[in-house]
Amino acid sequence: MLSYLIKRFLLMIPILFGITLICFIVINLAPGSPATFQEELSPKASPEAVEALKKLYGLDKPIHERYLNWLKMVVTLDLGKSFVDGRNVKDKIKERLPITVTLNLFSLLLILIIAIPIGVYSALKQGSLFDRALTVFVFTGFSVPTFWLALLAMIVFGVNLGWLPISGIQSIGAETMPFHERLVDWIKHLILPVTIMSFAGLAGMSRYTRSSMLEVLRQDYIRTARSKGLPERVVIIRYALRNALLPVVTLLGLAIPGLIGGSVIFESIFSIPGMGQLFYSSAMARDYPTIMGILIIGALLTLIGNLIADIAYFIVDPRIRVKRDV
């Protein structure tokens, strides 16, 4: 196991290097630049001022030299300074990170708590009315645009009914509220974005769990367990469910980058100052250091998520341990 982890960590280095190289090239070759963006904001800026901005940002140097300079900073855990406001990229990410992690963590927990029991029950009641209703829900969840659903929920629950706030993560003046009122206000602001973010995930995870559960229920060891006279609850929970959830481990590992990367669409619609909104505003302003800082964190977490999924598989599935020992 230790040798496997060492190999995986060593393999992550060239992969991460390749990802950063491709991202850096694509971003710098995209139309526009921080200098032209500033020129659009100040149409009267002289060509000399634009050239001075390019020199200030280091855009007058060849792209390979800029990449090497950026890579040297990253090695020392320095993500550089933003082209927009001159602040350290690490500081900007630290401000937005807790908000995005909170949103996505609650969304993921809601998906797991609801989708897995629904998927298991649907598999046990295959062909029933509940199973057919779940199928309709799944196709609806995949087909309905989530941004449209978010706007619809804002109109219904926020504007027409006035039950829930439709933007931000706290009300104006929340700092002066007592703790319990501030907590209630924070929860109200989270209800709409967390629910909408979970909608598509609920559909996919429940269907994924159902398919995996159906496959496991057809296995010989399930028939053997039932033939021994074991209670159905023991057969389902101890034997079927444990093996049916093995593929879900992969999905959980791949969900880790989403905890940090955030959602550009949802955070923009609900005006939530998270990582997704930061990435969108940075992309519009051609803020290369901030964009690369967010991308490298996402790439690193993707690799770590895959590694965690493999380790989890190794722990929960004895067959993998046997194969590696052989």
Share of the chain above pLDDT 70, in %: 87
pLDDT at residue 38, rounded to an integer: 59
- Residue 48: pLDDT band (50, 70, 90) is low
Span of 29-38, 166-175, 206-215 with lowest mean pLDDT: 29-38
pLDDT at residue 45, rounded to an integer: 58
Going from the C-alpha of 318 to that of each of 232, 313, 322, 323, 325, the distances in angstroms are 23, 9, 6, 9, 11
pLDDT at residue 319, rounded to an integer: 61
Span of 42-51, 59-68, 171-180 with lowest mean pLDDT: 42-51
CA distance 272 to 280: 12
CA distance 218 to 212: 10
Residue 319's nearest CA partner among 205, 206, 242 is 242
Going from the C-alpha of 66 to that of each of 57, 87, 158, 297, 306, the distances in angstroms are 10, 19, 47, 19, 30
- Residue 3: pLDDT band (50, 70, 90) is confident
Q: For the segment 101-128, what is each residue's pLDDT rounded down to a tens digit? A: 888 888 888 888 888 888 888 888 888 8
Going from the C-alpha of 29 to that of each of 15, 22, 23, 79, 206, the distances in angstroms are 21, 11, 10, 20, 41
Domains of the chain: 2-75 (no CATH), 94-325 (1.10.3720.10)
Of 139-143, 287-291, 318-322, the range with the highest mean pLDDT is 287-291
Residues 190-197, mean pLDDT to the nearest whole number: 87
Whether 52 shows a pLDDT value over 60: the answer reads yes
- pTM, entire model: 0.77
pLDDT at residue 30, rounded to an integer: 77
- Residue 304: pLDDT band (50, 70, 90) is confident
Residues 160-178, mean pLDDT to the nearest whole number: 81
Span of 36-45, 73-82, 225-234, 298-307 with lowest mean pLDDT: 36-45
Quick one: tokens of 33?
A: 């630049």
pLDDT at residue 261, rounded to an integer: 59
Q: Find the angle CA(20)-CA(36)-CA(294) to the nearest 5 degrees.
A: 25
Residues 288-315, mean pLDDT to the nearest whole number: 81
Paired strand residues for 81: 88
Q: What is the mean pLDDT of the chain?
A: 80
Residue 37's nearest CA partner among 285, 292, 291, 288 is 285
- Residue 326: pLDDT band (50, 70, 90) is very low
Residues 221-236, mean pLDDT to the nearest whole number: 84
Whether 298 shows a pLDDT value over 70: the answer reads yes
Residue type, 271: S
pLDDT at residue 322, rounded to an integer: 46
Residues 56-70, mean pLDDT to the nearest whole number: 81
Residues 315-324, mean pLDDT to the nearest whole number: 58
Whether 201 shows a pLDDT value over 70: the answer reads yes
Please, what's the b/e burial string for 106-133 (b: 16 or more CB within 10 A of its CB; e: otherwise)?
bbbebbbeebbebbbbbbbeeeeeeeee
